[in-house]
């Protein structure tokens, strides 16, 4: 088994969906990635920063999931990053109501010494210079996965290109792939993105699934059709955590195994959206995940003889 090093926000979210609203609850990309990867019982650590307003019970939750939190700095007198958003009726779009960077504004990530030899590095969505700083502290990673978003393309283009150049896998959504590449066709977009650095491009399409591109190969994982999506917050991070966690567990970064990894990513994301915040991920069992894997097989596998 490999060591998995995760960098990402550990934060408070306040969420409104058509089904209800929450006060400040546990959120953040690092949290979702960590909880998702924890399903594989991997040796993982989260690098992040919180204020001293961050409840011990949330830190305990991570620890209880075998996530090393040595790399989560607690800033005395600081306030934890806070995001608040309201989803529209179709849950495909949302408005940000409030963003308070707080301690995130001056975040200087420090990778715990026991994880400087991590094999798999998952750079969650953050300022590209923070992602770069983490990468510089890792000795010889086997695979680096980058998650990012349009905000960094709009505001920190040059820095983003620097980190993209150093990663093996990039995960972005379809509109971001188009923005990054200038190509509408996702096939052409992936090819342009290879030129920026990554050998593997994962394009997330939300309820429409995810595509994995490598050279001339393409693999597709659908999203599981659900009766109800309750809260999409964290689905992309949970997907990334499942992807990285499965690769860390199996210690196999072949394209064939990455196919399985994005199926597991979709699998875990399908749970994340069933309840508010991290609630569903906290109560998730291995049996749940295996049962849903069976559903993914039924959903996608077919038998046609090639004549």
For a copy of itself, the binding residues (CB under 8 A) are 89-90, 184-188, 205, 208-209, 211, 217-220, 222, 225-229, 256, 259-260, 263-264, 290, 293-294, 297-304, 306-307
Judged by beta carbon, residue 90 or residue 195, the one nearer a copy of itself is: 90
* Terminal alpha carbon distance of the chain: 41
Helix, strand, coil fractions of the chain, as percent rounded to 5: 40, 25, 35
The CB-of-122 to a copy of itself minimum distance in angstroms stands at: 21
Residue (139 or 228) nearer to a copy of itself, CB: 228
Sequence-distant (6+) residues with CB within 8 A of 81 are 9, 10, 11, 12, 28, 49, 50, 100, 101, 102, 103, 104
Q: Which is nearer to a copy of itself, 40 or 115 (CB)?
A: 40
Write down the least CB distance from residue 44 to a copy of itself, Å.
Answer: 20
Q: Please, which residues bridge with residue 16 across strands?
A: 21, 86
C-alpha dihedral (193, 198, 200, 201), degrees to nearest 10: -40
- Minimum CB separation of residue 109 from a copy of itself in Å reads 33
Q: Please, which residues bridge with residue 173 across strands?
A: 204
Choice between 74 and 218, CB closer to a copy of itself:
218
Name the residue among 198, 201, 208, 277 with its Cα closest to residue 237: 277
Minimum gap (Å) between residue 213 Cβ and a copy of itself: 8
Compute the least distance from the CB of residue 23 to a copy of itself, in Å: 26
Which of 89/108 has CB closer to a copy of itself? 89
Nearer to a copy of itself by Cβ, of 165 and 184: the residue is: 184
Give min distance, CB of 263 to a copy of itself, in A.
6
Note the helical H segments in the chain.
29-37, 56-64, 128-136, 150-155, 157-164, 174-181, 186-196, 235-250, 255-272, 279-282, 286-300
**How many angstroms separate the CA atoms of 252 and 248, rounded?**
8
């Amino acid at each position: 088994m490999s060591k998995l090093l995760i960098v990402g926000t550990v934060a408070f979210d306040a969420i409104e969906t058509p089904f209800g609203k929450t006060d400040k609850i546990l959120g953040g990309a690092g949290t979702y990635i960590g909880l998702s990867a924890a399903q594989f019982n991997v040796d993982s650590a989260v690098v992040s920063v919180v204020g001293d307003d961050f409840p011990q019970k949330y830190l305990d939750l991570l620890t209880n999931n075998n996530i090393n939190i040595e790399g989560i700095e607690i800033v005395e007198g600081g306030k934890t990053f806070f995001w608040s958003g309201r989803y529209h009726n179709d849950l495909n779009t949302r408005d940000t109501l409030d963003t308070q960077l707080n301690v995130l504004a001056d975040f200087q990530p420090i990778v715990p010494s026991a994880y400087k030899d991590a094999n798999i590095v998952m750079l969650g969505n953050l300022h590209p210079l923070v992602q770069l700083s983490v990468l510089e502290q890792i000795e010889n990673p086997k695979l680096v996965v980058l998650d990012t978003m349009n905000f960094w393309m709009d505001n920190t283009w040059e820095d983003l290109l620097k980190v993209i150049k150093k990663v093996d896998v990039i995960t972005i959504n379809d509109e971001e792939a188009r923005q990054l590449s200038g190509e509408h066709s996702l096939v052409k977009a992936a090819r342009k993105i290879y030129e920026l650095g990554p050998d593997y491009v994962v394009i997330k399409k939300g309820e429409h699934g995810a595509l994995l591109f490598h050279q001339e190969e393409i693999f597709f994982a659908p999203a599981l059709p659900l009766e109800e999506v309750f809260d999409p917050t964290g689905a992309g991070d949970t997907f990334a955590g499942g992807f990285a966690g499965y690769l860390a567990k199996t210690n196999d970064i072949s394209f064939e195994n990455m196919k399985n990894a994005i199926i597991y990513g979709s699998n875990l994301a399908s749970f994340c959206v069933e309840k508010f915040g991290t609630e569903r991920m906290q109560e998730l069992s291995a049996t749940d995940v295996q049962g849903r894997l069976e559903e993914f097989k039924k959903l996608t596998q077919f038998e046609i003889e090639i004549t």
